[in-house]
Amino acid sequence: MAIKRILAATDGSKKSMEAVEKAAMIAEEMGSEVELFNVIEPVTLPAGMYPVGMSARAAITPTWVTDYYDEYKKEHQNTLEKSYKEIKNKHKDLQVSKKLVEGLAATKIVEEAKEGDFDLIVVGARGLGFFEELVLGSTSKLVVDKAETPVLVVK
């Protein structure tokens, strides 16, 4: 099987960085290109976090919520940029692109793999999810379960 395009999901965690490195090594060996892919997941605030008289479905978003989200998005952009720079520094001749999207991580990874006609998805076994220690690898498990593209999970 020829592997021409590799989708490497990264969230900045140690395991995702190991997955990105593995994707780069495979790509070098096979003459493939790599897309680094980061997903900004929705932020849900607990009910008590909304100002009095506001619900989670309110049309007016308080400034502190948008400020928080802007900071959250910036962190994801920085994570993706850091991953990109690390890979380009180690694998100078490798063709690498990067993409940042919003949505549910597993869903977006599977969609990107299909829409982008990728030959391989590479993910880390665990990431930075809230329940990392309780539900190990929930994103990678969902990707394995839902993807039509072959998936390499780096442990």
Most confident of 8-17, 52-61, 90-99: 90-99
For residues 134 and 95, the model is more confident at 95
The pLDDT value recorded for residue 135 is 44
Q: What is the mean pLDDT of the chain?
A: 86
Q: Which domains does the chain have, with CATH numbers?
A: 5-40+80-154 (3.40.50.620)
Find the mean pLDDT for residues 13-33. Answer: 95
Tell me the per-residue pLDDT of 36-68, one tens digit each, with 9 for 90 and over: 999 998 876 665 555 544 445 555 566 877 788
Which of these, 69, 68, 67, 135, lies nearest to 106 by C-alpha position? Answer: 135
Confidence of residue 129 (pLDDT cuts 50, 70, 90): low
Average of per-residue pLDDT across 140-148: 94
Q: What percent of the chain stands above pLDDT 90?
A: 63
Residue 98, C-beta contacts closer than 8 angstroms, at least 6 positions apart: 35, 36, 37, 38, 80, 81, 83, 84
